[in-house]
Amino acid sequence: MSDLERRDFCRILTGCTLLACTGGLAGCARLLDWSAGTDAGRGRVATMAANPPVVEASSTVTPSETVPAPALPDLAVYTGDDPAANVRAAVAALGGMDRFVKRGARVVIKPNVIVGRAPELATTTNPIALAAVVTMAYEAGAAQVTVLDRPTGDPRTAFEGSGIAKAVNDVDGTVKILSDRNFERFDIPKGRVLTSWPLVTDIFEADTFINMPIAKTHSMAGLTMSMKNLMGVMGGTRGTVHQDFHQKIVDLATLVQPHLVILDAYRIMIRNGPTGGSLKDVRTPKTAIAGTNMPSVDAYGATLFGKQASDLKYLVNAGAQGLGVIDLNKLDIAKGTT
Partner 1 sequence: MPAEKRRWRGIHGLRHAFQWSFFALFIALLTLTVWPLGHVFLGVFLLADPLIAANSLANGVWAWPMLAALAMLLAPLVLGRAFCGYVCPTGTLIEAAAGRSTRRLGAHAREHWRKVPAFVLLGSAGLLLFASGLFLLLDPLALLTRTATVLLYPFLDRMIRLAGDVAYLAPPLRGATDFVTTALTGRLVFAVPRVYGLSVGVLGVFAGILGLNLLEPRLWCKHICPLGALLGLVGRLAPAGRRVNAEACIQCGACEQACPMDAVRDGFLATDTSRCQLCMACADACPVDAISTGLKPRTSLYSPSRRSFVAGGVLALLGGFFAFTGLSRVARNVRLIRPPGARAEKELLALCSRCGQCMKVCPTNVLQPSLSKAGLEGIFTPEMEYRIGACDWACNECGKVCPTSAIQPLELEVKRTTKIGRAYIDRNRCIPWADYKTCIVCQELCPVPDKAIVITEEEVVTPEGVTVRLQRPHVVVDRCIGCGVCEFNCPVAQESAITVRTIAE
What are the residues binding partner 1 (CB under 8 A)?
A: 22, 25-26, 28-29, 32, 34, 115-117, 152-158, 160-161, 174-177, 179, 181-182, 218-220, 237, 239-240, 242-245, 272, 274-278, 281
Residue nearer to partner 1 on the CB measure, 35 or 59: 35
Rounded alpha-carbon distances, angstroms, from residue 210 to 108, 266, 281: 6, 18, 27
Residue nearer to partner 1 on the CB measure, 161 or 232: 161
**Contact by Cβ (8 Å): 192, 247:** yes
**Contact by Cβ (8 Å): 100, 53:** yes
Least distance from partner 1 to the Cβ atom of residue 125, Å: 17
Residue nearer to partner 1 on the CB measure, 115 or 309: 115
Q: Is 286 helix (H, G, I), strand (E, B) or coil?
A: coil
User: Nearest 5°: CA angle at 325, between 43 and 235?
Assistant: 25
What element of type H or E holds 93? helix 83-93
Least distance from partner 1 to the Cβ atom of residue 20, Å: 14
Could you tell me which residues are beta bridge partners of residue 217? 223
Residue nearer to partner 1 on the CB measure, 174 or 310: 174
228 CB burial (10 A radius; 0-12, 13-18, 19+): buried
Residue nearer to partner 1 on the CB measure, 58 or 179: 179
Least distance from partner 1 to the Cβ atom of residue 166, Å: 12
What's the gap between Cα 128 and its chain centre?
16
Residue nearer to partner 1 on the CB measure, 171 or 328: 171
Residues 153 and 177: their CA atoms lie apart, in Å, by 12
Least distance from partner 1 to the Cβ atom of residue 22, Å: 7
Least distance from partner 1 to the Cβ atom of residue 224, Å: 9
Pick the closest to residue 280 from 272, 288, 291, 289 (CA basis): 272
Least distance from partner 1 to the Cβ atom of residue 167, Å: 15
Residue nearer to partner 1 on the CB measure, 103 or 181: 181
Least distance from partner 1 to the Cβ atom of residue 239, Å: 3
Residues 209 and 260: their CA atoms lie apart, in Å, by 7
Residues 321 and 209: their CA atoms lie apart, in Å, by 22
Residue 277 neighbours by CB under 8 Å, 6+ apart: 117, 121, 123
Least distance from partner 1 to the Cβ atom of residue 142, Å: 15
Pick the closest to residue 212 from 302, 118, 294, 285 (CA basis): 294
Residue nearer to partner 1 on the CB measure, 25 or 69: 25
What element of type H or E holds 146? strand 144-149
Residues 162 and 183: their CA atoms lie apart, in Å, by 24
